[in-house]
Amino acid sequence: MLILGIESSCDETAAAVVRDGREILSSIISSQIELHRPFGGVFPEVAARAHLDKIDPVVVEAVAAAGIELKDLDAVAVTQGPGLIGSLLVGVSYAKALAFGLGVPLVGVNHIEGHVYSVVFDNPPVRYPALALIVSGGHTNLFHVPEEGKYKVVSRTRDDAAGEAFDKVGKMLGLAYPGGPVIEKLARTGDPRRIKFPIAKISDGRPDFSFSGLKTAVSRYIREHGVVPVGEGEEPSAEIRDIAASFQATVIKSLMTNVEKLAAALRPETLIVAGGVACNGALRAAAEEFGARIGIPVYFPSRHLSTDNAAMIAAAGHFHLQRGERADYAMTADVTLRLQNLENEDADLRRKKVRYKL
């Protein structure tokens, strides 16, 4: 089965052709980083307009790169949500029109589920139950996945996503957008133990994440210590490098603390770490060390597939199409689309007397 995947949830316009949910024939991504760099973050209206300009050329290029024609496609899968409403609508509208014109099935995909499926191309089959840490600029969630296609959110961010925190701290330090890759690079030559930034403690005891307080702590440190942000063309100081290293170490400790607590309770057979922040080498090393310690494999997507892409949307779409799921042409973008279909999981955990305390 040849599936065309389309992704436009935020600031990448992407299309990919995937065979049978596992073989990537093409994957084209048009990034908008340079458009949003002056704003220090994604500007929604600019993103939507850029998607309008790019979506048709990107799809045409993906089909050509796969060595096929549009008539060869068996289905179209598209990100339905969550994401930016204007950006989502561009992809959904294009996908509906294309599927209608070709007379092939259409399926809407949850963007976060796409990230779960981003690991299928470069790893052995996932062993279930699994834990999936999805960490990016817009999402930081930990899912219990007892079997393929079933999900329960067991940890979520109460405020900012980890990737957003990287970008905002990068901006505070005068670093280029996006901040994550720059902070990771600087952290390699900084001291991660130099500054003790706090890890949020959730008052109700749930194993959730919170990064707004960490951003505030970094801002306060910069102000109280008179740290001068990096100017254009300047070399970052040793203090800037230490701040970057200490901040990154705190984020990773926060993420892995909850992963370890929930892994002890749920006993997964596989740990999945995906999303844009999964590119971070220090996070990968921490996750691999943990996996080796408890004896389970840790699956990451390739770096090309860590950021938003359409191959992962096609892979998730293949799973739903195989189950006979189809979208009708009334389908529309849904910015609040949730990835959770195990509503009774909390009760199951209570019966197991699982208690979460940070």
Domains contained in the chain, CATH given: 2-117+305-322 (3.30.420.40), 130-300 (3.30.420.40)
Q: Above 60 in pLDDT, residue 66?
A: yes
For the beta carbon of residue 97, count every other beta carbon within 10 angstroms.
13
> Residue 352 pLDDT > 60, yes or no?
no
CA–chain centroid gap for 133, Å, is 9
pLDDT over 90 at 289, yes or no: yes
Q: By mean pLDDT, which of 40-49, 83-92, 169-178, 293-302 is the weakest?
A: 40-49
Long-range contacts of 36-45 (CB under 8 A, 24+ apart): 36/11, 36/177, 37/176, 37/177, 40/167, 40/171, 40/177, 41/164, 41/167, 41/177, 42/10, 42/11, 42/84, 42/137, 44/84, 44/85, 44/86, 44/87, 45/86
What is the rounded average pLDDT of the residues 329-343?
88
pLDDT band for 43, please (50, 70, 90 cuts).
Answer: confident
Tell me the three state secondary structure of residue 67: coil
Radius of gyration of the chain (CA): 21
Q: In the predicted model, is pLDDT for residue 358 greater than 60?
A: no
For residue 32, the model assigns a pLDDT of 86
The residue with tokens 């073989």 is 23
Residue 40 DSSP label: T
180's tokens: 């994550």
